[in-house]
């Protein structure tokens, strides 16, 4: 069993923390894991993307071929659309619906969301607003991870992801761990209401 995940977003949004949590959960579960180099992380506001491949069997390449990604997890809707050529026909997109307008010719928001909504398997929510409304403004990425948890469940359970969040954020203290676990729970609830 395998799961090929394309992670995308904009520098500073926390996509690398999502990758770290998934990687930690996969390692603890004894899965094979390969992750391609992450691009753009050093530039705040620049494109950040990475391939993450999880499997119960060996993995030969760290790059996901075009048309083979089972899942696109994106902190930004235009970045989700940028990587659609990688999505498998039955693949799913889990994304924030709130654009981060970081370029002068950013596409029209309504057109962007209509393109996302035309996809057969998409879960989207304004995670930044949810995070602010629930007094967890720095945890929007963990809301997104919670939204993606059902799509990850063939290899990683919700409990394994929760445990990984606790381990990854432990050095920052229990308040941060608890905030991220609450954000993850909110994402699960948001996905179940879609």
> What domains can be seen in the chain, in order of their start residue?
2-192 (3.40.920.10)
pLDDT at 116 over 80: yes
The Cα 181–Cα 169 span in angstroms is 10
Chain centroid, CA 58 distance in Å:
23
The β-bridge partners of 80 are: none
Residue 29 pLDDT: 97
Per-residue pLDDT band for 170 (boundaries 50, 70, 90) equals very high
pTM beyond 0.85: yes
Q: Quick check: helix, strand or coil at residue 112?
A: helix
Per-residue pLDDT band for 122 (boundaries 50, 70, 90) equals very high
């Amino acid at each position: 069993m395998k799961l090929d995940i394309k992670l995308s977003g904009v520098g500073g949004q926390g996509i690398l923390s999502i990758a770290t949590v998934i990687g930690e959960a996969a390692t603890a579960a004894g899965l094979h894991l390969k992750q391609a180099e992450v691009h753009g992380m050093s530039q705040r506001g620049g494109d950040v993307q990475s391939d993450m491949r999880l499997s119960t069997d060996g993995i030969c390449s760290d790059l996901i071929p075009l048309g083979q990604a089972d899942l696109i997890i994106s902190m930004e809707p235009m970045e989700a659309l940028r990587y659609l050529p990688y999505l498998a026909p039955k693949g799913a997109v889990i994304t924030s619906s709130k654009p981060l307008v970081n370029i002068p010719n950013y596409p029209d928001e309504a057109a962007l969301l209509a393109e996302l909504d035309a996809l057969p398997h998409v879960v989207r929510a304004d995670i930044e607003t949810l995070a602010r409304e629930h007094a967890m403004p720095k945890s929007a990425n963990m809301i997104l991870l919670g939204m993606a948890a059902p799509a990850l469940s063939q290899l990683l359970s919700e409990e394994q992801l929760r445990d990984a969040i606790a381990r990854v954020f432990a050095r920052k203290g229990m308040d941060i761990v608890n905030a991220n676990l609450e954000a993850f729970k909110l994402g699960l609830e948001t996905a179940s209401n879609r």
